[in-house]
DNA sequence: TTGTACGCGTTATCAA
DNA sequence: TTGATAACGCGTACAA
């Protein structure tokens, strides 16, 4: 292993000088000739500073940790992507962790807080509030992504209410009146807030919300499937469905397929989250594209600020949800 | 920040003893009473060893890096999942990196090799052979996942040939004769090998392979889409299609939808990779489930061995591909 | 403009 | 069974 001493010896200078050159210390002056000689030697010996030593000395790792529930959920891909890009811009590295990981630790975040990261992005949407609150005791800076927990005042969320309204309004504008909503879990902020958007759109158009038309799901294919089955079994099934998540929408499409219903002839379907394969579905799915990439970026941006300046609070809502119209929604022609 | 000295002082012992207790050193004996006292103090002060210091001292990070092309590709989710689980079992952490990450570094892996990881899993399937070969100069142990490069003799691959045969045989058994294959890129091992499986199945059933029936894709929805369009435009379109990847299959389904063809009535479709939403597609997609989770596990297992014992070579093929029969494939009833 | 001395927090080795 | 010392590789006051 090549160390800073090797470089120094080869270049005929003291290790300190090498360190200064590599860290681009502006306050000290270094003769151009020695700087060049040192940089050449660095290349020649293929020297990289030992990160562990740097970390120890500087008491920082330039590494951010991100915790997600599951890599298989396509929603997180884009958040990660945005977070990665922004982290690179800010000179940080990103380490992504899935909660599916087995392992018996003190608590679920111990891997990440033991001097391995400078800060954490928590994007888990399951109800592990207790552990998150405990995380506060560790004094490690962290920020919630797409969720809110009482007592924790650093978070970045989407404008889910607007998204819910957008989806519902779209269906209303197509002439639908019997509009159902497959919600997210009511114990999550996103589930509740998207539902609020739905309610607002319905109310401001003086449409009644039937209890039977509101079916809770758990952001999974299976729960979307059974929710849709219940809707299809109603005496008066809805002519349009707003799915609170892409996974629920996939489940709903499957239920429709099995029941022999076709979309959008038998009912229209719009879903939150414009995944890459949305237009490869049959029919191509109308979606609400959420600014997930931007949320990832903003999360990192604000976390880095939190690390550096000890920001008091971060209450950020990312706007920019937009409707992507595809074939799964259509005008309601005849009364059913 | 709580250090080992704080704990030692509080427990009235020397830091060395604390270190021994925490590292469960078996060779040295420690009085039960002091051990208990130390462990209590550790809990009391909520002490965690500083990883940077440990890393520096031990000259290892207990961290593995994994490089994938893109988080959005559902195929990698399961590999990551298996790798994460195995890493946890072996006492390692996993850091996943996407090549989509922007950032101007010496080379693409520099983040990961600068004393930050003990070893690397390279799962990128793009043609960045040059950089990978250069990686060898860094002396950092690494292992290829699902690809082979001449001159690099540590890799874990799937039995893609078997998978190709399995898919094609399934179609043949359903009575199909006009079987097309949307291949992966021919400059990738998986693309070539799956194609070989297809060829073998066709030949051993004395079926001819038409040039027009072999369409190259680049493992993307778009390329699958245009490949399928070409197949549909043929004078004698195939009655069955074997897609070399799930993304290609999605594109193919979209092309069929747009052309007004229905699956499996107009043609059967089978694809490599059993993604979680395969049975939520319309129709539910018959797939070849590849042992991706196991591949992730084995990759980590072998990389750790490579780190520890300097294994000479790792040429591992993971078996266990299986057909998941769903509605997208059906018996060929009448001659077309 | 360059060199010296020290310490970051931990653990391996040796001594007691 | 426990304590003392040194060292991992680096960066930073301070001195020259």
- DSSP labels for B117-176? -SEEEE---SS-HHHHHHHGGGT--EEEES---TT--EEEEE-HHHHHHHHHHHHHHTT-
Chain A residues touching B55 at Cβ < 8 A: 52, 55-56
A277: nearest CB among B51, B96, B250:
B250
CA-nearest residue to A90 within chain B is: B103
pLDDT above 60: residue A105: no
B155's CB contacts (< 8 A; 6+ apart) are B143, B144, B145, B147, B148, B149, B314, B315, B316
Task: Name which of A179, A113, A159, A147 is nearest A332 in CA terms.
Answer: A179
* Same domain membership, residue B145 and residue B201: no
Which has more confidence, A99 or A170? A170
Nucleotides, chain D, CB distance < 7 Å? 1-5, 7-13
> Minimal Cα–Cα distance from B296 to chain A, Å?
13
List, in sequence order, every residue forming a beta bridge with A97; answer none if it has no partner. Answer: A67
Residue B260, classed as helix, strand or coil, is: coil
In a domain, B336, yes or no: no
Q: In the beta sheet, which residues pair with residue A65?
A: A95, A120
Q: How confident is the model at residue B336 (pLDDT cuts 50, 70, 90)?
A: very low
CA angle B210, B213, B218 (to 5 degrees): 135
Tell me, yes or no, whether B149 and B164 share the same domain.
no
Residue nearest to nucleotide C2 (CA to C1'): A17
Distances, alpha carbon A286 to alpha carbons A196, A198, B1, B108, B112, in Å: 20, 16, 51, 37, 40
Question: Which residues span the domain enclosing A313?
Answer: 63-158+292-319
As to burial, measured by CB atoms within 10 angstroms (0-12 exposed, 13-18 middle, 19+ buried), residue A148 is middle
Residue among A168, A118, A113, A111 at smallest CA distance from A137: A113
Residue A335 binned pLDDT confidence (cut-offs 50, 70, 90): low
Structure tokens at B19: 């270190």
By C1' distance from the Cα of A2, the closest nucleotide is D9
State whether B215 and B232 are in the same domain. yes
What pLDDT digit, counting tens, does each position of A52-90 carry?
999 999 999 989 999 988 877 888 989 999 998 899 889
Calculate mean pLDDT across residues A156-176. 97
Q: Residue A257 domain-assigned?
A: yes
Give the model confidence (pLDDT) of B294-319 as tens digits: 999 999 999 999 998 778 899 999 99
Measure A3 CA to D7 C1' (Å): 14
Q: From the centroid of its chain, how far is CA A307?
A: 20
Domain contains A54: no
Q: Is A284 on the interface with B (CB under 8 A)?
A: yes
Query: Looking at the structure, do residues B286 and B166 belong to the same domain, yes or no?
Result: yes
Rounded Cα distance between B224 and B250, Å, is 7
- The alpha-carbon gap from B280 to the nearest alpha carbon of chain A, in Å, equals 5
Global model pTM greater than 0.85: yes
CA distance A61 to A11: 29
- Cβ separation A48–B103 shorter than 8 A: no
Same domain flag for B297 and B151: yes
Q: Identify the three-state secondary structure at position A153.
A: coil
Compute the mean pLDDT over every residue in chain A, rounded to the nearest whole number: 90
pLDDT in tens, B103-151: 445 456 766 666 788 999 999 866 567 778 778 877 889 999 998 888 8
Q: Does residue A284 share a domain with residue A171?
A: yes
Least confident of A100-104, B82-86, B254-258, B284-288: A100-104
**Ranges A96-100, B57-61, B86-90, B176-180, most confident:** B176-180
Q: Is A85's CB within 8 Å of B74's CB?
A: no
B184 and B147 in one domain?
no
Q: Which of A298-302, B209-213, B331-335 has the lowest mean pLDDT?
A: B331-335
The separation between the first and the last C-alpha atoms of chain B, rounded to the nearest angstrom, is 76
Q: Provide the domain count of chain B.
A: 3
B185 and B285 share a domain?
yes
CA to C1' distance (Å), from B59 to D7: 12
% of chain A residues with pLDDT over 70: 93
Closest CA–CA distance from residue A111 to any residue of chain B (Å)? 8
Task: Indicate whether A150 and A219 sit together in one domain.
Answer: no
A270 shares its domain with A152: no
Show which of residues 305-334 on chain A sit within 8 Å of chain B, judged by CB atoms: none
A60 CA to D12 C1' in angstroms comes to 16
Place of tokens 């998540």: A245
Token duo for residue A307? 């690390």
Specify if A333 maps to a domain.
Answer: no
**Same-domain status, B255 and B310:** no
Q: Does B129 map to a domain?
A: yes
**Do residues B136 and B110 both lie within one domain?**
yes
Identify all chain A residues contacting B51, using CB atoms and an 8 Å cutoff. 114-116
Inter-chain contact A115–B52, Cβ cutoff 8 Å? yes
| Residue ranges of E strands in chain B | 63-68, 93-98, 119-122, 142-145, 154-158, 179-183, 214-216, 240-243, 268-272, 286-289, 314-318, 322-324
Q: Provide CB contacts within 8 A for B97, sequence distance 6+.
A: B65, B66, B67, B68, B111, B112
For residues A107 and A132, the answer to whether their CB atoms sit within 8 Å is: no
Q: What CATH number is attached to the domain comprising B189?
A: 3.40.50.2300
Joined together, the tokens standing for residue B160 give 């893609």
Between A49, A52, A85, which is nearest B55 by CB? Answer: A52
């Amino acid at each position: 292993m090549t160390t800073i001493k090797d470089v120094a010896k080869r270049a005929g200078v003291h290790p300190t000088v090498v360190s200064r050159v590599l860290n681009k210390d502006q306050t000290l002056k270094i003769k151009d000739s020695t700087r060049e000689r040192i940089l050449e030697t660095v290349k020649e010996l293929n020297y990289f500073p030992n990160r562990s030593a740097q970390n120890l000395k500087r008491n920082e790792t330039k590494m951010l940790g991100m915790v997600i529930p599951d890599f298989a959920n396509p929603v997180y891909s884009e958040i990660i992507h945005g977070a990665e890009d922004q982290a690179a811009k800010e000179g940080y590295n990103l380490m992504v962790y899935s909660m599916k990981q087995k392992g018996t630790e003190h608590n679920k975040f111990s891997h990440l807080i033991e001097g391995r990261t400078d800060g954490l992005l928590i994007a888990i949407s399951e109800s592990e509030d207790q552990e998150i609150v405990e995380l506060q005791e560790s004094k490690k800076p962290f920020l919630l992504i797409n969720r809110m927990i009482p007592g924790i005042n650093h978070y970045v969320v989407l404008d889910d209410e607007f998204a819910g309204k957008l989806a519902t309004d779209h269906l209303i504008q197509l002439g639908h009146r019997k509009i159902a909503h497959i919600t997210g879990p009511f114990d999550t902020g996103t589930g509740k807030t998207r539902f609020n958007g739905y309610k607002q759109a319905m109310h401001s158009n003086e449409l009644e919300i039937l209890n039977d038309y509101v079916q809770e799901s758990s952001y999974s294919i299976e729960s979307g499937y059974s929710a849709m089955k219940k809707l299809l079994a109603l005496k008066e099934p809805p002519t349009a469905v707003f799915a609170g998540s892409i996974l629920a929408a996939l489940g709903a499409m499957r239920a429709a397929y099995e029941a022999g219903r076709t979309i959008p002839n038998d009912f229209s379907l719009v879903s939150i989250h414009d995944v890459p394969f949305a237009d490869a579905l049959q029919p191509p799915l109308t979606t609400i594209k959420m600014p997930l990439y931007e949320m990832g970026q903003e999360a990192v941006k604000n976390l880095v600020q939190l690390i550096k300046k000890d920001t008091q609070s971060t209450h950020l809502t990312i706007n920019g949800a937009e409707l992507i119209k595809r074939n799964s929604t259509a005008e309601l022609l005849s009364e059913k």
